[in-house]
Amino acid sequence: MKQTPVRNSALRGSARPRMLRAVYSGSLEVYANLALEQQLYEALQPDEIVLLLWRNSPSVVIGRHQNPWTECDLQAMQRDGVKLARRASGGGAVYHDGGNGNFSFLAGADYYDQQLQFSIVIAALAALGIAAQRSGRNDILADGRKFSGNAFRYRKEKSYHHGTILIDTDLPRLSAYLNPAHTAVRESKAIASVRSGVVNLSELKAGLQWPAVCRQLVAGAERAWGGAARVEQIDQQRLDGDDDVRARVAELCSWQWLYGRTPDFGCVHRLERDGHGGSESGAELELELQLHRGRIADLKLHPDQEYAALAQQLRRTLGGVRYRPEDLRRCAAALSRDGPARSVCRQLALQLQATADTPLGTEEQG
């Protein structure tokens, strides 16, 4: 199969970086790999390019400006031990497991070339006998179906481009976790994912393995930037022993980063009316919440006229409280006696149980 040409349009002809590094992560921990990517990016020199190659155990990774309650099935993920991660780049939600590979191009401003980086990926797959094309939404397709979603982060002095490569991922699980059956969210300022038909490359090239893709990606980078890469292997033990990586992991797995950074949204929870006076047993009321930076900014109860007094009490109790089961249970415990307000707090905490036991982390000020 004819290989897609790799053209160097933004490197000023024969210009080369001082160093091209190919870094292989042996970790399958999503937070450790994202922390490593951040560390490499922060330390990146202006005349340096890094190609990071990595995989994760089952996890869902959402974009920086997304809402986890709308992007993934948190209850199913909690049940199955699938981790939630939020990356620092934009873009949509993706599912990772051992059958999916990830690449990251990190480059100084003079060397960052998004079109070239896409061409390296496409050329690497062409060398393996797979015809791929870039789509208009920054996906890469084969046989008309998506196998690679890509996202970016830009700064004046450096940028990065990372993406997935579906090789032999568990597509039924991908579909299950990225398509929540129910969500309380009704309106949101978050960026929503655009769902696409996907394909495993092993369906198109039997026996394809991640190491073979890695070798071609590194070879393509060497051709594109005109020099041999310095190859580095980083294992989990090395990451565990790195204080900076551990600090970054602590932030990446915190409630404040995963949930508290969610753009403002509104949601509606249906709760039992038991003990709310004058309502038939088993009937429901609707609790409408407005969330700002992960905290309850306002609320309404429906039917509003019947529960005006309760709504006022809940505003006093829940105003400014984190949308987090542990915080809601503390609110319930702080109320002086059993009653409607305590029942609402307990029921809301139960409905958010899928986010329980997430370390809080440091809250951003301002």
DSSP 193: P
347, 284 contact by CB (below 8 A): no
DSSP 52: E
Per-residue pLDDT tens over the stretch 260-285: 999 999 999 999 876 444 344 456 89
Domain borders along the chain are 19-253, 265-355
| CA dist., res. 27 & res. 203, Å (int) | 26
Q: Domain 19-253: which topology?
A: BirA Bifunctional Protein; domain 2 (3.30.930)
Q: Which residues of the chain register pLDDT less than 70?
A: 1-15, 191, 194-195, 274-283, 364-366
The per-residue pLDDT for 277 is: 40
> Pairing relation of β-strands 48-54 and 145-154?
unpaired
In degrees rounded to 5, what are phi and psi of residue 288? -100, 125
The per-residue pLDDT for 283 is: 62
Please give the share of the chain, as a percent, with pLDDT higher than 70. Answer: 92
| CA dist., res. 321 & res. 255, Å (int) | 14
Give the per-residue SS3 of 86-147.
ECCCCCCCEEECCCEEEEEEEEECCCCCHHHHHHHHHHHHHHCCCCCEECCCCEEEECCEEE
Classify 84 as helix, strand or coil: strand
Task: List, in order, residues 6 or more apart from 245 with CB less than 8 Å away.
Answer: 32, 35, 36, 39, 239
Per-residue pLDDT tens over the stretch 13-27: 346 899 999 999 999
Q: May I ask the CATH class of domain 265-355?
A: alpha beta
DSSP 289-322: EEEETTEEEEEEEESTTTTHHHHHHHHHHHTT-B
Per-residue pLDDT tens over the stretch 86-115: 999 999 999 999 999 999 999 999 999 999
The per-residue pLDDT for 274 is: 63
Helix ranges (DSSP H) in the chain: 30-43, 68-71, 74-80, 114-127, 171-177, 201-204, 210-225, 236-240, 243-252, 255-258, 308-318, 325-334, 340-351
191, 71 contact by CB (below 8 A): no
101, 158 contact by CB (below 8 A): no
Q: What does R_g of the chain's alpha carbons equal in angstroms?
A: 24
In degrees rounded to 5, what are phi and psi of residue 123? -65, -40
Q: Token pair for residue 227?
A: 């020099």
